[in-house]
Chain A
Amino acid sequence: MASIADFFSGQHRACDLVFEDMEDAVGSADWPRATELYQQLSRDTLQHFSNEEEGLFPLFEDKTGMQAGPTQVMRGEHAELRELLQRLGEAVESRDQDAVLGTGETFFLFLQQHNVKEEQVLYPMADQVLQDSLGELAQRVAGFPAGD
């Protein structure tokens, strides 16, 4: 059966890998590749956020009645991550290695603590309360396995 935790955690790991490749490219001053990877990172991360904010979170909020609960906290952290991602993009554009690595480290640490909370608390809860709504989630989130 499709699991929310597996699917969304999988997106986290995929974004981590792109970030790590980008960092390597910046380390070896391969700016064209770094730019390309940054664009992929930005696209995938923002797609993941909207999968959550427009797909998973509203379903979770409807089902649990918790509008100001954990999903609200996660939305706030997404806003911060969007800003960090934007700053990272500016640093990549200006080819400033120190700024990319410093902003990248900040983005990465904040992202990891955010992901842990989603993976250990929010997703397991969502898997419990949304057992009957997986079909609906599949309609809202591209790629989420529609199940049986």
Chain B
Amino acid sequence: MNLGALSLEDAPGFRVPLQFFLTVPAFGILAATLILFDGGLLLQSRWLPATLAVTHAFTLGYIAMAMLGALFQMLPVVMGTSFPRTEPAARLVHGLLTAGTLCLVAAFEWRQAMLFLIAAMLLVPVLLLFAAGTLIALRQGAKGGGPARAVRLAVMALAVTAGLGGWLAAGHALPAVPLQRALTDYHAGWGLAGWILVLVVGISTQVIPMFLTTPPYPKTLERWLPPLLVVLLLTGSVAPLDALRQGALLALTVLAAVYALVSLHLLQRRRRKRFDVTVWFWRLGMACLLAAAGLEGYAYVRGGSAGPELAVLAGLLFLAGFAVSVINGMLYKIVPFLVWLHLRMPVLKGLVPPGTRLYTPNIHEVIAPQRMKWQFLLHAAALVLLLAAVAATNGRWAQAGAVLLLASNGLLLFNLGAAVRLYARHAGSV
């Protein structure tokens, strides 16, 4: 066990997670812009290239960007280990992920074979490298525990998702490789359930009780849900019988709904009564996960007779409703804390004489709660309009939703940028 890693002094530099976090809203802005210009059309089918461009701006540019940045930060402080050569590795991962995602989005928008190829060559190695580095780090840190196990499973699912994605990209790019549409479901399933959901479950069972002062999650759920989700996903992917595969995926959907319900129940029993925007982001996120699971369940029951807009609706609920909301909420917990922590570093490291009173802005001064609240309202309103647009196939509503999404991410960028500027101003004076 690396006990030294317990120390906050060993937290990676401010830049390591922040370069990822600041890029997150930029991709939110890109996704909103794509929806705005493609009108309502792209919300009508998950197969349209423009829909896939928006989807990947969210999954890679927003969601993976935030999660990779958070993992670089969490491995040392929460799991007592650290990513090999953290600082250069983080710079490399951030650069390649950003460039690769831009290429992929452009490839879908302009249907360019060459861009698919470049995107795959940038994204597949960097995601595999990240997964491998995380697994190595977790092998070295002997501290097991729930979150570490979930992270291990999640990055393995990330590697599977990246591999399948690379194969699909090759199908788009190279005449010699057939485009196997059937693989898309596996690619999406491993990405959404294996990587995103497993990671959120693993982290939330730890952070929701701790930071949002709720009762703890049931021990069984905390311990068994992540591995169970992966086992069901595996069964749903490779089981020899069709009925077995369908049953496993249905069970997975039911478990996702149970997790959402338990989370909503715990958030309702939160002890602190003060308004906390992060709590509302989690509530919205869990409500969307529940709705997404409900739609998926309904689609299983109805079989082929469920309309194509159902899949778009479920995807929108899961990505923009669930994953984006909880990430947005967590950014508002993590970023102000990191600004405060790094400004206190001279004191924590004993670089100033004991007893010196060094002014540090408190966490509410880093990002004003009022501005976070406005951003939450913009995000929630954007979501409602986009969902309504898909349900009613209304292009005008989709564009109005896109404008709100743009405003929401613009304000998120402004809020995070203000935090970083405040850090830069005060860090210079220490």
Contact = CB atoms under 8 A, between A and B. Distances in A.
A120 interface: yes
A116 B210 contact: yes
Contacts of A109: 211, 333, 337, 363
A6 interface: no
Interface string B1-41: 10100111000000000000000000000000000000000
Interface string B92-105: 00000000000000
Q: What is the interface of chain B mostly: helix, strand, loop, or mixed?
A: helix
Interface in B322-380: 333, 337, 340-341, 344, 347-348, 350, 354, 357, 362-365
Contact of A106 (B78, B213, B274, B363): B363
Task: Find the residue from B6, B80, B145, B344 having the highest chain A CB count within 10 A.
Answer: B6
A77 interface: yes
A126 B8 CA distance: 21
A77 B273 contact: no
B245 to A, nearest CB: 38
B262 interface: no
A20 B7 contact: no
B401 to A, nearest CB: 32
B91 interface: no
Interface residues of B, number: 31
A69 B80 CA distance: 13
A112 interface: yes
Contact of B272 (A20, A73, A110, A121): A20
A117 B6 contact: yes
Contact of A17 (B6, B271, B347, B365): B271
A103 B362 CA distance: 5
Chain A: interface secondary structure? helix
B364 A102 contact: yes
B77 interface: yes
Contact of B7 (A24, A27, A73, A116): A73
B210 A77 contact: no
Given A66-B3, A113-B77, 19 more contacts: A20-B272, A20-B273, A23-B272, A24-B274, A73-B6, A80-B344, A80-B348, A98-B364, A99-B362, A102-B365, A103-B362, A105-B362, A105-B364, A106-B340, A110-B337, A110-B341, A116-B210, A121-B6, A122-B6
Interface of B: 1, 3, 6-8, 77-78, 80, 143, 145, 210-211, 213, 271-274, 333, 337, 340-341, 344, 347-348, 350, 354, 357, 362-365
